[in-house]
């Protein structure tokens, strides 16, 4: 068997509507590429016919490999499953199945890989999404860059090509709350951005709800920044400073005007202020405790239902 140069990891969740177009474009890319490829189709617990379509194409074309998860584990873990099973010697391309990211860019990414870059991450110049989402994305990426303990490129998603040694390093990273774009930045080595225009979704609906987007954003902040903990300390100092100023103000009013605020107003203000600070602090600490709890349980990142490799189906649990 000819050695595989590049593995293409494609996480799929209910992508029946776009599946045929996706396979056509991936097949065309592999047919025209001057390097050997395999495509790992990761079924993330789809409830439509995505799993059946994966089995069909994998049995028809052995360049496609199916990894069917036992349930919906989420996008980041589905990609992690693909990285774990990628067999390529040179590198791995990560791309979503909705075709917003053009698979044809694999040729440009591969050229940069051969020039010695270990991470080629795609930078979105234009996004065809609602104004509110574009504003939220822009604000988050810039906040993350400001508070992160190391450089995480802005406006860059999971669409990227990783060298073999970066993939191996990320596979050895045991964290449960995974934020892959942060992990690949943390690994280091030689990295470069590649600007492109992001297309509209070809068919179907986005699988990233606002709640999932917030979960991903929290993983990016709490996994790669110590700012939240430092924020608690700063908030405590600000609260003490506010209390001291208020105390001085009351002493001044007592001495100068013999008039000290009385009644419920001051009491309610103090209760609301200190209660709010305590709840915020507990919430931030709780985010870290939750991640520690998830980590120490040492559960597997994902569970495999079955794998279709070289046209054959085999069951495996990991």
Write out pLDDT tens, residues 191-247: 998 888 777 665 656 655 666 677 777 776 767 777 777 777 777 777 777 777 777
Q: What is the pLDDT of residue 245?
A: 77
When pLDDT is averaged across residues 118-131 and rounded to a whole number, the result is: 78
Residues 252 and 139 in one domain: no
Q: Quick one: three-class SS letters along the chain?
A: CCCCCEEEEEEECCCCCCHHHHHHHHHHHHHHCCCCEEEEEEECCCCCCHHHHHHHHHHHCCCEEEEEECCCCCHHHHHHHHHHHCCCCCEEEECCCCCCCCHHHHHHHHHHHHCCCCEEEEEEEECCCCHHHHHHHHHHHHHHHHHCCCCCCCCEEEEEEEEHHHHHHHHCCCCCCCCHHHHHHHHCCCEEEEEEECCCCCCCCCCCCHHHHHHHHHHHHHHCCCHHHHHHHHHHHHHHHHHHHHHHHHHHHHHHHCCCCCCHHHHHHHHHHHHHHHHHHHHHHHHHHHHHHHHHCCCCCCCEEEEEECCEEEECCC
Q: When comparing pLDDT for 179 and 253, which is higher? A: 179
The verdict on residue 121 lying in a domain is yes
Residues 180 and 266 in one domain: no
Has residue 101 got a pLDDT over 90? no
Residues 192 and 153 in one domain: yes
Count: domains in the chain: 2
Q: When comparing pLDDT for 188 and 295, which is higher? A: 188
CB count in 10 Å sphere of residue 164: 16
Residues 207 and 286 in one domain: no
Q: When comparing pLDDT for 209 and 165, which is higher? A: 165
Q: What is the pLDDT of residue 317?
A: 44
The CATH number assigned to the domain holding 125 equals 3.90.550.10
Q: Which domain holds residue 270?
A: 227-296
Residues 198 and 250 in one domain: no
The verdict on residue 1 lying in a domain is no
Has residue 140 got a pLDDT over 50? yes
Q: What is the pLDDT of residue 1?
A: 59
Proportion of the chain above pLDDT 70, given as a percent: 83
Q: When comparing pLDDT for 204 and 24, which is higher? A: 24
Q: What is the pLDDT of residue 68?
A: 93
Question: Where does residue 67 fall: left (phi above 0), alpha (psi -120 to 50 degrees), or beta otherwise?
Answer: beta
Write out pLDDT tens, residues 4-20: 899 999 999 988 888 99
Residues 98 and 203 in one domain: yes
Cα-only R_g, the chain: 25
Residues 186 and 37 in one domain: yes
Write out pLDDT tens, residues 143-156: 777 777 777 777 77
Residues 140 and 247 in one domain: no
Specify whether the CB–CB gap between 42 and 78 falls below 8 A.
Answer: yes
Any idea which residue has 């509209």 for tokens?
200
CB count in 10 Å sphere of residue 18: 18
């Amino acid at each position: 068997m000819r050695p595989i140069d590049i593995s293409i990891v494609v996480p799929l969740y209910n992508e029946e509507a776009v599946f045929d177009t996706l396979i056509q474009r991936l097949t065309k890319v592999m047919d025209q590429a001057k390097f050997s490829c395999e495509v790992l189709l990761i079924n993330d617990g789809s409830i439509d016919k995505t799993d059946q379509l994966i089995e069909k194409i994998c049995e028809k074309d052995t360049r496609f490999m199916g990894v069917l998860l036992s349930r919906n584990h989420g996008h980041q873990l589905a990609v992690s499953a693909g990285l774990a099973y990628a067999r390529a010697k040179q590198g791995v391309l990560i791309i979503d199945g909705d075709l917003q990211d053009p698979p044809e860019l694999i040729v440009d990414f591969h050229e940069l890989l051969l020039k010695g870059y270990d991470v080629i991450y795609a930078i979105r110049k234009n996004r065809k999404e609602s104004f509110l989402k574009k504003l939220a994305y822009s604000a988050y990426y810039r906040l993350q860059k400001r508070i992160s303990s190391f450089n995480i490129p802005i406006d860059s998603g999971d669409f990227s090509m990783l060298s073999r040694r970066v993939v191996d390093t990320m596979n050895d990273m045991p964290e449960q709350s995974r934020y892959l774009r942060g992990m690949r930045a943390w690994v280091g080595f030689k990295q470069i951005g590649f600007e492109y225009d992001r297309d509209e979704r070809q068919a179907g609906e986005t699988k990233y709800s606002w709640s999932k987007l917030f979960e991903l954003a929290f993983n990016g902040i709490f996994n790669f920044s110590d700012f939240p903990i430092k924020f608690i300390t700063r908030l405590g100092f600000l609260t003490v400073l506010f209390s001291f100023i208020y105390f001085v103000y009351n002493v001044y009013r007592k001495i100068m005007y013999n008039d000290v605020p009385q009644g419920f107003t001051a009491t309610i203000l103090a209760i609301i202020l200190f209660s709010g600070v305590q709840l915020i602090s507990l919430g931030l600490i709780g985010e870290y405790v939750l991640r520690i709890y998830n980590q120490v349980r040492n559960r597997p990142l994902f569970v495999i239902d079955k794998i279709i490799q070289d046209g054959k189906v085999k069951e495996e649990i990991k």
